[in-house]
Structure 1
Amino acid sequence: MIINSPNEMKEKAHQIIQKKSKILLNGQLGAGKTQFVKGVANFLKIDESKIQSPTYSYMHEYEETLLHIDMYRLETPEDMIQKGILEKIEEYKWICIEWPKFQEYYQDNEFLSIDIRKLENEKRELIY
């Protein structure tokens, strides 16, 4: 599916999150993973201006509703456990994970995997 703008990305996130509440987001830097999470937040009535990539903090919790995780810097499954990520995954209905790793520790059929490919300017391709 081709997405032509950040607003279209948000609209698509609205549609997807109504069917699946747990999302795995793959894509290169700048592909639009955090933009997708902003669309999820908007659907959940969370101020999307609060949404930032949790690259250095590993996870952000928004209004006790949405868990946003970035696994880019995790090196081992033990890192996930030490940082409390696995425990938090169990607590939340609405979850978006950027750069998912070690899926065998938390993956079940509830997660939908989405690849976001940057095509040009604001144009993206979503594959799921």
Structure 2
Amino acid sequence: MNFKEKPLFDYKDVRHWKKVYQSDISNIIVELKESLKEPAIVVLNGPVGAGKTTFTNIFLGEDNSGSPTYSLINDCGEVVHADFYRLETAEEIMHLELPMYLEEKKYFLVEWGKDYIRDIYRELSDDFHYFQLDIESNEVKDGHDEASRNYFLKKIIF
């Protein structure tokens, strides 16, 4: 007999923004925060160079906070920013002691966290609301020095 395995989670579309330039991101963040229920975990998903760290820096209100690739987690006031690019196994999530970082925080932004969503969920309480923000880069068009981005916010449903 063949049994289909039940997916670990599903997505529900929340909001989309298309053709967003870097100068528009702060406006998108205001709308994004209105769409999130706190405390929120937002997994930033996109290829290398899509703009995950740029988005996070603007979200934090900092121009040069950088990526926490080497420290993995940065505490930034009401926001915790993590970059799981260097994680090799899901078991490493358990050793990060996420509940300690996220106590009384509004937002947890996670770069390269898509493969670890289920593991993050297991480590944290049900008080958190889970979202994924997919970021796509568009081609540079005539008259612009930079590529625009598309943002797709989805609620993660377990």
Please indicate the TM-score interval, normalised by the length of the shorter structure: 0.7 to 0.9
With the length of structure 2 as denominator, give the TM-score of the two structures. Answer: 0.67
- Structure 2 residue corresponding to 1:102, chosen from 116, 127, 132: 116
**Native 8 Å contact 1:22 1:110 kept in 2:** yes
- Of residues 23-32 and 88-97 in structure 1, the stretch that sits farther from structure 2 once superposed is 88-97
The match for 2:67 is: 53
Paired amino acid for 1:49:
D
**Native 8 Å contact 1:27 1:116 kept in 2:** yes
> Kindly, what percent of the aligned residue pairs are identical?
27
**How far did residue 91 of structure 1 move?**
4.9
The match for 2:5 is: none
SS at the partner of 2:118?
helix
The match for 1:124 is: 149
**How far did residue 89 of structure 1 move?**
3.7
With the length of structure 1 as denominator, give the TM-score of the two structures. Answer: 0.80
- Structure 2 residue corresponding to 1:76, chosen from 64, 82, 89: 89
Unmatched 5+ stretches in structure 1: 43-47
- Structure of larger gyration radius: 2
* Separation in 1, partners of 2:46, 2:112: 7
Unmatched 5+ stretches in structure 2: 1-16, 140-145, 154-158
SS at the partner of 1:49?
coil
Q: For this pair of structures, how many residues does the alignment match? A: 122
